[in-house]
Amino acid sequence: MKAPYRRRFLTLAGLGMVGGALGYAYVKGVRYPRLHFTPEPAPTAAELEGIGIQAQGAVLQGVAADGAIRFRAYAPEPRFDLRVSNGQRVRLLLENVHPDATMLVEPTQPGLSQQRTGLLRTVAGEAKADTSWHIRWSFPKPDAYRFTIIGDTGGGSELDWVIKRSLELGADFIVHLGDFYYDPGDLERAAAALNATSIPTFAAIGNHDFRDGWQPLYPHFTRLIGPRNSSFRLGGIQFVNLDTATDFWPAHRGERLRLLQRFPQDEPDAAIRDFVTFTHRPLYKVNGLGEASWLRRQLLDRGMKKLMAGHIHIKDEVDDGGLYTYVSGQGLGHADLIVDKPIAQILVGDVAPGKPVKYHWAPLKMPFEAHCNSRNLGVLEVLQRRQTLTRLRQICPEPTPAK
């Protein structure tokens, strides 16, 4: 090929490749900063020899060598549809289920039994061959319940306190607004703390949970804590969890759109009395190309008039272009360290039959020793809070993020 033709050919080929990449990015969706393609949704099904299992309200964590299938619930009333082709032993483990939730198997499988250890359920036994059946759990208080809402706890002693305080406040579950991860190991520590308590937690993914530098964290978050986008309904209240961990392009596509499309704009679902829409970043902190305005419009058009968000380490209520936004981001209690007394707050939601959700703020009452975390030494240095720093060093001479 002559030189001018070769140059033209190479230019066209280059343009074609760029166009193809842009087209693929448009269809697939990209996340940024630290540009990369949007991840696949969390797996909710498992196929083993002789057993097919499809979950609603739970993500697959993995299948052990002995065939035990482990899921984590992201909804208070998870359900599993099973197909068993060979008569064989089933062993299903499910995390994050309220200890008083009741299990129902339809049609009945006499060979199955359930074991309960805290928030973990283990269903095991012989399943009949060539059968299709389902297991579901019913939340103990479907019509009147309380939940706490807070984000930005990290995965250490502050999270432990937030869980304890939620129990004190009589919460039946926690809605966590993301950012468990500030230090390596935090996601594992957070999962252990969430699994060790007596109420489930349903969580949004935070920007810190999404990646650490170039290292993607979202696969660990999805497996250990829950999916990036999800929804569930309990007693006529529709909970919607939206991923705003990093910016997304194009805003009007992807998993988040597919989730929102379950709630039609024109014909509101009469079975939904109120929405609890929650995410990590308030929309006025979302920087993506047209993303915040698109998302705001989508929510308002569907009757989602309120948004619960964290990310900013404050307690606030703001009218964000018609979207009433609660910011509950005091999970680390840093406000307490700034003024040297406990002033941080936690948001509480109350559900009563036939009523919309009622919200109020409650004191977080974080004890000073819950700040025993090496990260806080740097925070206090930056804030030049010498007295508080000295006090922290006295109470916890070797503060550490590890438990």
Contact residues for Fe ion (CB under 5 A)? Answer: 179, 206-207, 311
Nearest to 226 by CA among 245, 247, 201: 201
- Is the separation of the CB atoms in 129 and 86 below 8 Å? yes
By the 10 Å C-beta count (0-12 exposed, 13-18 middle, 19+ buried), 341 is classed as: exposed
Nearer to Fe ion, 223 or 311 (CB): 311
Unique residue bearing structure tokens 């049609």: 107
Report, in Å, the least distance between residue 94 CB and Fe ion. 29
Cα–Cα nearest to 174, from 367, 310, 17? 310
Helix, strand, or coil (residue 363): strand
Place of tokens 């393609």: 37
Residue 93's alpha-carbon distances to 58, 126, 182, in angstroms, are 11, 15, 29
Report in angstroms how near the CB of residue 179 gets to Fe ion at its nearest: 4
CA distance 157 to 161: 6
Distance in Å, CB of 11 to Fe ion, minimum:
43
Helix (H, G, I), strand (E, B) or coil at 308: strand
Nearer to Fe ion, 206 or 349 (CB): 206
- Residue (148 or 207) nearer to Fe ion, CB: 207
Nearest approach in angstroms of CB 207 to Fe ion is: 4
CA of 383: how far to CAs of 157, 334, 389, in Å? Answer: 21, 10, 10
Closest approach of Fe ion to the CB of residue 264, in Å = 31
- Nearer CB in complex with Fe ion: 145/210: 210
Q: How far is the CB of 302 from Fe ion (least distance, A)?
A: 25
Closest residue to bound Fe ion by CB: 311
Of 61 and 325, the one with the shorter C-beta distance to Fe ion is 325
| Nearer CB in complex with Fe ion: 81/316 | 316
